[in-house]
Each structure stands twice: as structure tokens, then as C-alpha cells.
Amino acid sequence: MFLLPLLLSFQGGPIQLEKRVPRPIERPSNPPSPSSGPNIVRRGPFASIQVNVDALGGNKKGDAANEPSIAIDPTNPRRIVIGWRQFDTIRSSFRKNGWSYSKDGGKSWAAGATIQSNLFNSDPVLDTDLSGKFYYLSYPGGRSLKVFRSSNGGQSWTGPTNLTGGDKAWMLVDKSNSIGKGNIYVIWQVLHGPNTFMRSTDGGNSFKGPYAVANWPTFGTMAQDSAGNLYAFGLRRQSFGTFVLDKSVNAKDKTKTPTFSSRFVNMGGRMAFAKTPNPQGLLGQAQVVVDPSRRGYVYLLCSVDPSGSDPLDVHFVRSTDGGRTFSAPVRVNDDSRTNGAWQWHGTISVSPTGRIDVVWNDTRNSRGNARLSETFYSYSLDAGKTWSKNVPIGPQWNSSLGWPRQNKIGDYYHALSDKAVMNLAYATTYNGEQDVYFIRIGDCNKNGIHDGVDLRNGTSFDANQNTIPDECEFCQTDLGFGGGTIKLSVCGDDLTKAGSRASLDVQGGPANAPVILLFSAGRLNPPIKFPFGGSIVPDLLRSPSVVFTGFVTNSRGHVGATLKGGSSNLLTLYAQAVQVQGTKILLSNALKIRTGR
């Protein structure tokens, strides 16, 4: 017997971002062109599904869709609604309140439509109440806003309810355990102040206000904890280097006038506006989320321009005492500080279990071209103390393609996290024009558990250290012939590539138990039937062959050994695993493994 050629080891002035355009170029009789191009874009295990599609699920040529917002029915998470700014032609800056809905958790989407097909609407923000009713906020221009409602999963809308408001508004529906449950809160930027907050206590039938908000948080979002404390985060007025977090403890109480207290926050840089990746827009809003699993934990995120030559980074700050004090800024992107890359449109969400998910657009691989981005993802399982290795979730795209007569791809993305994944609505130009996509990030093996938790628990492995569980990548050929109880797999990199690594896993048998691995360059033909079920495939009498002993499954019943490929000789191996359970001997399926180069 010979050892295999494999090494095994365990492994400035006031800015109005949305201006009303009085005359549209497009007409109802001049719709976008028929569908052309794919509606699913893949990179590795990540699949982005286009949302603004036609009735056949294909792309509409010649239009533009950006600045998406997402809402998910808490009573039925398979019902999702995404809204966006819809431009029926890129020859115009006239936009409408576009939307689509999904009944199957985002696998497919209804044909995109507009709520008011002939009227200007912008800045969509969506949310739901605890009963599953959807709300859609639109900005029609000036000092006004509209709220639409849907009681059938976004299939149709009623309204609008008109209210005082302004540019770059944000909406939040109260889902707390407080007396404010069901309230609707709306805030907007200081340009249309001085009072910038409205509240509905009757499910959106009417709104009262506007009320004063201390220091006018601008270009940001809102969040709420389970006690009903409301947080609003943004710039102080339009000072791009000064961030402020406002908190109201009484906005939930309809008998009281809402009041806000403020804390200034060091985000480690300035918010960016009108830079190369997004020439007429923000490069991401200030975002706030509350950790539902840790009382008093509030998380802040923004793409900011730090001191020095680095143009833009994604910075994270946390408070553990309900917004009274804050940590120092933490840089989420892990690229070099001297490569001149832009990390823009930083977006954050937090799961019910406290996992923090962050995405952003990143030019680190563009060789200095600030218009070429990839959308990256990172997560934290320890309240933001440490972050996973950054991983791209889609192919490179050009942010300058498909501009309508407004040179930007919107000012924000929007995401919501559940136990297993980050549900992201984002805009890119995969089709050579601006389109909106939906993606579920973080559960590549679809077991209902986040990949990071699988890796931490030892039920998945990451031999090539790219944060993606190896079973979601390249897997060696499964030949079958197993006894039906334990499963052998070798997944990760293609082992014929230089520097490749893959994990060998055995699962389905007893935990903390020995495993015997059989490898041979020869294959029995026919295989020898095994008395306990299955058939033996490796021909151990042929050289090279080897029997490995000494492996033991972990407490979860997995092995997780690392195979290193890319040696100078190309070799085909056949492998099986054997375990003993009581008086029974368990035989795995057989694998055909290609290694070397």
C-alpha cells in the first residue's frame, strides 16, 4: 500500500436628492421593450433573482429600476414585497412607485407594475405590521408623502393616505410589545423641515404632526426595540461629517407629543455624496438596527470616507446601553487600506438570534476603475466584535450603465434578516441596465441554519477558508453503492487546481466514533457486495491504495478532514468510509476523486 498524494489534517449646502419632474417623456402607450436576458444571476452558491420582470419572468429592456425597499409578511415569510423607483425609459428622469410581490419566498416574482402609473413617485420605503398588512411610502415631491396599504400580500393597493413630509423619508411600522404596536412612524430630511416627524396611531388612516426631532437626523433610517423605544439615525442636518442618533421613549404613546433626545456618534469618517460610483446620489445612507436578542444593543452602519487616501469604507458602531455610549468605529471590509477601493451602499440587518449581516458594493477588484463593483457580504456572530471574511455574492457590474436622466443607481439598498439568511433587495446592472434583484444570503445548503453557525458547530467545513461551506462548492463524483446509512463527501475546491483544498466529511453515523477510510487508484468491477448493505468499490489490491484509521467523528457526527490537491501528477482515486455501530458495520457511498494537475 502507498500513501496518497494527499495531506490530511483537521481542519456643503442643502441638498434635495429627489426633484419633481413635471413632464414625463414616456406615456402609457410607450411601455418598455419586451423581455430579453436572464432573470437569475449566479456566482458560486449565490443566486440573485430579478424582481422587476415582465409577465414571463424576463427582463424588460430599456427601463431602469433602482432604490429598492423590501418587506416580508411576519405571519407568512413566503410572502415578500419589494418596491423601487421605476423609470419606464432611461430617456427620462420621471419615475413611479414600482413594485412586485412573491408568494414563494422570492423564488419567483409577479410582473412588475406601478401603483400610480401616471404620477411621479420616488423614494420607496416598505414595511409590514404584525398582522401581515403591507405599507408602501412614496415621495411625490415637495413637502408631501403618500402611504399605500395592501391586505393581500402586495397583490393590490389601497390609498393613498396623504401626509406632510419631504425628501429622503423613512417609514417604520411599530412591531414592538408596547402600547404603540401598530403605530406608523415617518421621518424625512431637514430640507423640508423644520419639523420632520409624523405618526399614525390608526393603521395609516391618518397622520398627526409634523413634530420636532432633535438635530434633524437626515439621510438615514429608523429602528425600534421590543419596549417600543424608537431610534432615528442620520446626519445632523446636512453636515456630512456629523452623525446623530435620536431616541424617543414616548413616540409609542398616542396620548403624548413625541419628543427626542440626541447623541452624536463618531462613525470614523464622512458620508459621501456625488462621487464616481454614484455621481448624482449618496453612496449609502446612515442605517440603524436593534438587536432583538440582546437588550440595549443598537447597531449603526454607514459607508464613510475615512481620513487618509482610502476613499470609502464600511464602518460599524455599536451601543450596548440603548444609545447612551458607543464603541469605536470598526471597519467591516477587509481589503487593503491603500488600494483606493470604494465600499459604497453599505447595508445592515440583524436576525432574531442576533447575527449581524452587512452587504456593500466594492471596487477592490476593479484595477482602479471606480465604476466597476462587486457586491460583497460579511456577517458577525458576536455582536460586531469580529467579522467574517468578505465574500462577493455576484459578478462584477458597471454602476454607470443604464442611468436614466439622473446619474445614479439610487441612494440605498434594503435588507431584512431571518434566522438563516439575509434577505436583500438591491439594484445592479447585470443586464447592462439598472434592475432590482432579490437574494437570500447565508444558507447555501438550505438546512434552515446560517452557514456561519454550521461552520461554528462543526456540521459544515471550510477547507479553502472562503467562508462558504464546502458542500456548497465543487463536489467530487458520488458513485453510490453505499449501505444507505452514512455519507462520504469531498467538497470545496477542484483538487486538480494548484493550491486547492477540500474537506472530506463523513456524516450520518454515530458521533465521537472511529472512521476507516479506504482509498485506491483501482475500482472493483463489479463491486463486491457488503454483508451489511451496499458494495465495496475501491480495489485495495491495486497500487496505490491505502487504509486510513484514526479518524473520529465530532460531537455532531462529522469528520471534517482537509484534502490538499494540486500535486504534479493527475490521479483518479476511489474512496469509501466505514464505521462500526454496535454489532453493525456501516458502509458509505463511493466517491470518484480527481486530484493533482
What does the pLDDT average to over 552-564?
94
- pLDDT tens digits, one per residue of 133-155: 999 999 999 999 999 999 999 99
- Assign 7 a pLDDT band (cuts: 50, 70, 90): very low
Asked if residue 494 and residue 420 are part of one domain, the reply reads: no
- pLDDT tens digits, one per residue of 28-73: 334 444 444 449 999 999 999 999 999 989 999 999 999 999 999 9
User: Could you count the other beta carbons within 10 Å of the beta carbon of residue 72?
Assistant: 23
Place of cell 452514512: 486
Residue at a domain's end among 424, 442, 460:
442
- pLDDT tens digits, one per residue of 307-357: 999 999 999 999 999 999 999 999 999 999 999 999 999 999 999 999 999
Q: Of 36, 3, 38, which Cα lies nearest the Cα of 437? A: 38
In angstroms, the Cα distances linking 277 to 283, 342, 547 are 8, 8, 56
- pLDDT tens digits, one per residue of 264-323: 999 999 999 999 999 999 999 999 999 999 999 999 999 999 999 999 999 999 999 999
Residue 34 lies in a domain: no
Residue 5 has pLDDT above 90, yes or no: no
Asked if residue 329 and residue 212 are part of one domain, the reply reads: yes
- Assign 16 a pLDDT band (cuts: 50, 70, 90): low
Residue 551 lies in a domain: yes
Asked if residue 498 and residue 404 are part of one domain, the reply reads: no
Asked if residue 148 and residue 77 are part of one domain, the reply reads: yes
Residue 576 lies in a domain: yes
Asked if residue 495 and residue 422 are part of one domain, the reply reads: no
Residue 513 lies in a domain: yes
What does the pLDDT average to over 149-163?
98
Q: What is the pLDDT of residue 485?
A: 87
Residue 447 lies in a domain: no
Q: Are 200 and 184 in contact (CB under 8 A)?
A: yes
Report residue 104 CA to chain centroid gap. 18
Contacts of 554 (CB under 8 A, 6+ apart): 458, 511, 512, 560
Asked if residue 481 and residue 429 are part of one domain, the reply reads: no
DSSP per-residue letters across 456-495: HHTSS--TT-SSS-GGGSEEPEEEE---SS-EEEEEES-T
Number of structural domains found in the chain: 2
Q: What is the pLDDT of residue 553?
A: 95
- pLDDT tens digits, one per residue of 424-469: 999 999 999 999 999 999 999 999 999 999 999 999 999 999 999 9
Q: Which residue has the higher pLDDT, 330 or 9?
A: 330
- Assign 11 a pLDDT band (cuts: 50, 70, 90): very low
Residue at a domain's end among 396, 417, 442:
442
Residue at a domain's end among 418, 442, 466:
442
- 182: containing domain: 40-442
Residue 195 has pLDDT above 80, yes or no: yes
What does the pLDDT average to over 516-539?
95
Q: Are 476 and 591 in contact (CB under 8 A)?
A: yes
Q: What is the pLDDT of residue 34?
A: 44
Residue 11 lies in a domain: no
Q: What is the pLDDT of residue 549?
A: 86
Residue 189 lies in a domain: yes
Asked if residue 405 and residue 385 are part of one domain, the reply reads: yes
Q: What is the pLDDT of residue 21?
A: 44
Q: What is the pLDDT of residue 292?
A: 98
Asked if residue 264 and residue 362 are part of one domain, the reply reads: yes
Q: What is the pLDDT of residue 597?
A: 64
Residue 267 lies in a domain: yes
Beta bridge partners of 211: 197
Count the residues in the chain.
597
Q: What is the pLDDT of residue 8?
A: 44
Q: What percent of the chain has pLDDT over 70?
A: 93
- pLDDT tens digits, one per residue of 209-263: 999 999 999 999 999 999 999 999 999 999 999 999 999 999 999 999 999 999 9
Residue 185 sits in a domain of what CATH number?
2.120.10.10
Asked if residue 481 and residue 367 are part of one domain, the reply reads: no
Q: What is the pLDDT of residue 120?
A: 98
- pLDDT tens digits, one per residue of 360-412: 999 999 999 999 999 999 999 999 999 999 999 999 999 999 999 999 999 99
Q: What is the pLDDT of residue 550?
A: 82
Q: What percent of the chain has pLDDT over 90?
A: 89
Q: Report the predicted TM-score, pTM, of the whole model to 2 decimal places.
A: 0.94
Residue 520 sits in a domain of what CATH number?
2.60.40
Q: What is the pLDDT of residue 569?
A: 80
Tell me how far apart the alpha carbons of residues 477 and 561 are, in angstroms, rounded to a whole number: 18
Asked if residue 588 and residue 517 are part of one domain, the reply reads: yes
How close are the terminal C-alpha atoms of the chain, in Å?
A: 22
Asked if residue 325 and residue 417 are part of one domain, the reply reads: yes
DSSP per-residue letters across 212-234: --TT-EEEEEEEE-TT--EEEEE
In angstroms, the Cα distances linking 52 to 61, 109, 124, 438 are 11, 8, 14, 10
What does the pLDDT average to over 544-550?
89
Report residue 124 CA to chain centroid gap. 19
Asked if residue 468 and residue 436 are part of one domain, the reply reads: no
